[in-house]
A and B are shown apart, each in its own frame.
Chain A
Amino acid sequence: MDAIIEARQLNKCFGEITAVDGISFQVHPGESFGLLGPNGAGKTTTVRMIYGFSPMDAGSLQVFGLDIRRQWREVRGQIGVCQQDNSLDPDLTVRENLEVFAGYFDIPRRRARERTRELLEFVALEHRGAAKVEELSGGMMRRLVLARALINQPRLLILDEPTTGLDPQARHQVWQRLEELKARGLTVLITTHYMDEASRLCDRLLILDHGRILVEGRPLELIHRFVGKEVVEVAFPEEKLRRFVRERQWEHEDLGNRLIIYSRNGEDLYRLISRDYCEEGCHLRMASLEDVFLRLTGRDLRE
């Protein structure tokens, strides 16, 4: 089947700054595709080009096989977008938010009402239909944004940091809905800087930094390729441990008060280190996408 998104050499500049620097990727039908990267990596800019909001400076971009530059209306009619900022209409009730939004897609009024009822049920807000948006909790608002993005039965759902700022319960609520949509075969494009979110939701992802693609692949594959299977973390490592690790030429990272040792056979390593070098503050864990992310994008603050 043809790709849902086909981006070739996408380029976007803001004055002197190149926000997106020649990136190419494909998203296939039914796939959950992640765009990861630190703040300012170019995730949101890329997403905005995909729904035809930001004009690109160079490259080509097709969505559903349509050229976004010329056929943006048709593309937008089949996309659902959850933006990063809350853009719910505070002048309208929960139900009206969905019904009015349906109007923007030329959905007939009766159909809009049906769809609204279904979607409010889907996001467990059926009892809050008459509530004002400002009366909702953060998690409820995010679920309403999700429902709104689904009003036109999109073929592609775009989620720009869908759970930023939510508490753990609310995040899981959102994730559950997204997994359900995924199971139904909806194609999803998601940007996030939460690695647990990416591991859980994305079939495939790319990590961006400074507008360029650092790597692309499946989450597990990336972990194995860049980190290994397991990680031993030592808090406040002694100098002799540092020397020991260096001598053995193990892959590691020294963060000063924390030593991270990457390994394919973590258990033996852990036993050795915890016996000889530290009684406490040493632990063994599975390698995660976060390790990949930090290894590739560095640990400096992005501000």
Chain B
Amino acid sequence: MRASFHVSRRFLHVWRRNLKVYSKTWKISFLPPLLEPLFYLFAFGAGLGVLVGALSYRGVDVPYIAYLAPALIAINVMYNAFFETTYSSFVRMYYQKTYDAIVATPLSLEEVVTGEIVWGATKAVIATAVMMSVITLLGVSVFPAARLAYPSSLLLLPVAFLGGAAFSALGMLFTGIMPNIETFNLPIFLLITPMFLFSGTFFPLENLPRWIRVVAQALPLTHLVRLCRSLAYGLWHPELAWSALFLLGFAALFFPAAVVAMQRRIIK
């Protein structure tokens, strides 16, 4: 097995290709981040929130709807990035043979993989921007409690990129090792769904047994939710740096792992 790592700015060609395709279907791609906060904030925020009342987050009392809103952003980042480099990348790799065509040009497979991961992160940023607009609008109209604090909330965009890169790299690793497209159900049910529920998204982790809290600290979504929530409220604390570092390290670990997995799969 040849271990090589040739990455130049040429990966941007792959990124640009994906952007071009996205720009044709943006009306459909915009729907989920547009509608999801609407549905969730009405159902859980307004509906369930009345029963829950207020929660305490870092000593601040927050209404349930405000607790929920930043978590929706974090979940949205995870889904956008992870689904892009699993299902979408797998289709490009396996069914459309897009990578086969590209590696006959001066691009390396490493650059293709890099382009896909950076694209997944970019898509997460776009979806975050759409979702932030909806939540901001709802914040000034129907749900004043869910209002995002500015300017700190603007940092949600680079955080979406960071989190997006982490989840994209993880997804790409699975694309490198999964035998077929149906098998993605496995990481989704064993990894993504538990994260969706147990990363401090819908209720504070403090309510759970200690061992779950410990495990949760190793999950990237926990850190992404923490970053999103604190920035959305404008709360600054040292743990933010740790969470950002965690996501950076996570991406830095899974990116080369994804490259190696893809090389093993494709280069024969």
Contacts and interface: CB of A to CB of B under 8 A. Distances in A.
Answer yes or no: are A and B bound together in one complex: yes
A103 B16 contact: yes
B104 interface: yes
Nearest to B88: A91
A105 B21 contact: no
Contact of B104 (A14, A81, A86): A81
Given A54-B268, A55-B2, A89 B98 contact: yes
A54 B267 contact: yes
Contact of A103 (B17, B24, B97, B103): B17
Interface in A76-94: 76-77, 79, 81, 83, 85-92
B21 A55 contact: no
Contacts of B265: none
B185 interface: no
Interface of A: 14, 48, 51, 53-55, 73-74, 76-77, 79, 81, 83, 85-92, 96, 100-101, 103-106, 148, 152
Interface string B64-102: 000000000000000000000000000000001110111
Contacts of A101: 101, 105
B106 A104 contact: yes
Contacts of A96: 20
A72 B244 CA distance: 38
Contacts of B103: 53
B106 A77 contact: yes
Given A54-B268, A73-B108, 4 more contacts: A73-B106, A83-B100, A89-B96, A106-B106
Contacts of A53: 103-104, 267
A162 B16 CA distance: 29
B13 interface: yes
B106 A100 contact: no
Give the most central of A87, A96, A104, A148: most B CB within 10 Å. A104
B126 interface: no
A89 B20 CA distance: 12
Interface in B1-32: 2, 6, 10, 13, 16-17, 20-21, 24
A54 B268 CA distance: 6
Contact of B102 (A48, A91, A104, A106): A104
B13 A103 contact: yes
Nearest to A103: B13
B98 A87 contact: yes
A150 B46 CA distance: 60
A105 B104 CA distance: 10
16 contacts: A48-B268, A53-B104, A53-B267, A73-B6, A74-B106, A76-B105, A77-B106, A81-B104, A86-B97, A89-B96, A89-B98, A96-B20, A100-B17, A103-B16, A103-B17, A106-B106
Contact of B107 (A55, A81, A87, A104): A104
Nearest to B95: A90
A6 B183 CA distance: 43
Contacts of A104: 10, 13, 102, 105-107
Contacts of B100: 83, 85, 87
B21 A92 contact: yes
Given A54-B267, A55-B2, A100 B101 contact: no
Contacts of A103: 13, 16-17
Contacts of A74: 106
Nearest to B100: A87
Contacts of A79: 104
Give the most central of B6, B13, B267: most A CB within 10 Å. B13
Contacts of B101: 83, 87-89, 101, 148
A106 B16 CA distance: 12
Contacts of A87: 96-98, 100-101
A96 B20 CA distance: 9
Contacts of B6: 73
A246 to B, nearest CB: 48
A148 B98 CA distance: 13
Nearest to A145: B101
Q: Which 3 A-B pairs have the closest CB atoms?
A: A87-B101, A87-B97, A104-B105
Contacts of B105: 76-77, 101, 104-105, 152
Nearest to B16: A103
Contact of B106 (A14, A54, A105): A105
A105 B100 CA distance: 15
